[in-house]
């Protein structure tokens, strides 16, 4: 039996010229997300934060002669001294104070808002009716969220490096746990630190993206991912858990400090990378499985 092709159509009933892989181009989704006020504010804050820290150091310059009170004050004073000893060190300080919470929130925001925001606006079903295949929609959302997250991290580091170098000059990188590193090698080490942080944040990205598929509330997806990250960090401090702590997604979050030692300590870096990739892949697979079977009503 032969299949009759409709006039001006195709065998599967698709409109002439329709190709599933051409729907929702990445460039269109990138422009769409980049034009949102949320994206602009986040990226703008990534640029402003190093400048705010630099201004704080300048405004606090009058207190340099005062003795810090207590051991905590001594640690803060030593960190500030490290940050003001060169552009590379200022960049490292900015990354250090941002990695524990700020970058987590930024990544959770981009990934948690990806699908849930469309559902909350009521535009998700219209995108799928365009028709955009569900896998294509998720791929576009995932790629654009990853791109904006990477851009935010790079903007933070680049602004800190530029502002710190202009203010404090070019000096060796002082990691505090190794000999001073020449500027060239120090810049490479900071690049590796950013790379590992990006890999570690894939855990947050995967959880936030999964929640974004499961809920129509963007705030719930973002907040849920951040809360789980905080919970994992708290559990990791409980030594009574013993070796079970190594299964927590945040157990190797500080392994990037091994990149500042001489020679570099890479054992925990490898374990942390494997752990992050496993968690991120598992969450992404669950998100795909659920979204392909979900009844889209919003």
Q: What is the pLDDT of residue 28?
A: 83
The number of beta carbons lying within 10 Å of the beta carbon of residue 168 is 18
Rounded distance between C-alpha atoms, residue 99 and residue 157, angstroms: 11
Rounded distance between C-alpha atoms, residue 273 and residue 196, angstroms: 8
Rounded distance between C-alpha atoms, residue 90 and residue 157, angstroms: 10
pLDDT-derived band of residue 124, with 50, 70 and 90 as boundaries?
confident
Q: Measured between alpha carbons, how far apart are the two ends of the chain, in Å? A: 41
Calculate mean pLDDT across residues 5-22: 48
Is the pLDDT score of 37 beyond 70? yes
Calculate mean pLDDT across residues 17-31: 68
Q: What is the pLDDT of residue 103?
A: 96
Q: What is the pLDDT of residue 265?
A: 87
Would you list the DSSP string of 123-153?
-HHHHHTTT--HHHHHHHHHHHHHHHHHHHH
Check: CB of residue 282 under 8 Å from CB of residue 206. Answer: yes
Percent with pLDDT over 70 in the chain: 81
Q: What is the pLDDT of residue 137?
A: 85
Helix or strand (DSSP H, E) at 277: helix 267-293
Check: CB of residue 259 under 8 Å from CB of residue 234. Answer: no
Is the pLDDT score of 142 beyond 90? yes
Secondary structure class of 79 (helix, strand, coil): helix
pLDDT-derived band of residue 263, with 50, 70 and 90 as boundaries?
confident
Q: What is the pLDDT of residue 9?
A: 47
pLDDT-derived band of residue 72, with 50, 70 and 90 as boundaries?
very low
Calculate mean pLDDT across residues 82-109: 92
pLDDT-derived band of residue 100, with 50, 70 and 90 as boundaries?
confident
Q: What is the pLDDT of residue 117?
A: 84
Q: What is the mean pLDDT of the chain?
A: 83
Rounded distance between C-alpha atoms, residue 126 and residue 12, angstroms: 21
Q: What is the pLDDT of residue 64?
A: 46
Largest distance between two CA atoms of the chain: 93
Return left, alpha or beta for 182; rule: phi > 0 is left, psi -120 to 50 is alpha, else beta.
Answer: beta
Q: What is the pLDDT of residue 295?
A: 67
Burial of 297 (0-12, 13-18, 19+ CB in 10 A): exposed
Q: What is the pLDDT of residue 271?
A: 95
Please tell me the least confidently modeled range out of 116-130, 142-156, 216-230.
Answer: 116-130
Please tell me the least confidently modeled range out of 13-17, 78-82, 202-206.
Answer: 13-17
Calculate mean pLDDT across residues 57-70: 58
Helix or strand (DSSP H, E) at 59: helix 37-59
Q: What is the pLDDT of residue 21?
A: 52
């Amino acid at each position: 039996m032969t299949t009759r092709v409709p006039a001006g159509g195709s065998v599967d009933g698709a409109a002439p010229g329709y190709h599933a892989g051409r729907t929702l181009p990445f460039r269109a989704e990138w422009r769409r997300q980049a034009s949102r006020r949320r994206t602009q504010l986040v990226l703008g804050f990534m640029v402003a934060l190093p400048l705010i820290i630099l201004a704080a150091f300048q405004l606090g310059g009058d207190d340099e002669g005062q003795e810090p009170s207590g051991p905590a004050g001594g640690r803060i004073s030593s960190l500030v001294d490290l940050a003001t000893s060169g552009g590379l060190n200022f960049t490292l300080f900015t990354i250090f104070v941002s990695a524990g919470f700020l970058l987590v929130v930024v990544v959770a925001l981009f990934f948690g808002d990806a699908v849930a925001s469309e559902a909350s606006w009521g535009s998700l079903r219209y995108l799928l009716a365009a028709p955009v295949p569900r896998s294509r929609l998720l791929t576009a959302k995932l790629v654009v969220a990853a791109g904006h997250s990477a851009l935010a991290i790079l903007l933070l580091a680049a602004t800190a490096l530029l502002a710190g170098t202009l203010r404090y000059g070019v000096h060796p990188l002082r990691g505090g746990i190794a000999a001073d590193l020449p500027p060239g090698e120090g810049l490479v080490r900071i690049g590796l630190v950013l790379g590992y942080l990006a890999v570690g944040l894939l855990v947050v990205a995967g959880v936030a993206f999964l929640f974004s598929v499961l809920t129509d509330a963007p705030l719930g997806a973002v907040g849920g991912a951040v809360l789980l990250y905080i919970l994992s960090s708290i559990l990791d401090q409980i030594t009574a858990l013993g070796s079970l702590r190594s299964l927590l997604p945040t157990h190797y979050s500080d392994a990037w400090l091994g990149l500042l030692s001489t020679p570099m300590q890479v054992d925990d870096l490898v374990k942390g990378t494997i752990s992050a990739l496993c968690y991120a892949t598992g969450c992404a697979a669950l998100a795909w499985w659920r979204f392909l079977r979900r009844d889209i009503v919003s």
